[in-house]
Amino acid sequence: MRPYFYVMIIEILKSKLHRVRVTEANLNYIGSVTIDETLMRAANLIANEKVSIVNVSNGERLETYVICGKSNSGVIGINGPAAHKCRVDDIVIIMSYAQMEFETAKTFKPAIVFPDTATNTLVP
């Protein structure tokens, strides 16, 4: 009989945009969050990736997916029904997670970005 080996898979933080300002809240859009492409690259996020959004301004939490916004625009657009949970000028944290083996996760370093909250641009 062959031995069975079990690999523990855990979910950890992969990417984080810490304290960005909502620039748009469009209730009549089909859904998602629009993120400036420059911020997406810095945070290692891709289009259609699932993200969690925590609204620092009011405590709301939600999950949606990313769509790519214009580079260097500073856009953080909360679209569709999620617009009920975020208003323009709210401060939010956007996070994505990855599943990986426990041992790999011990040394994994997430991409954490601290943009200028007033402009949603990268701080040099």
Active site residues: 32, 65
Other Cβ atoms within 10 Å of 5 Cβ, number: 5
Q: How many residues does the chain have?
A: 124
DSSP string for residues in 1-57: -PPP----EEEEEEEEEEEEE--EEETTS-SEEEEEHHHHHHTT--TT-EEEEEETT
Other Cβ atoms within 10 Å of 18 Cβ, number: 16
**DSSP reduced 3-state for 87:** coil
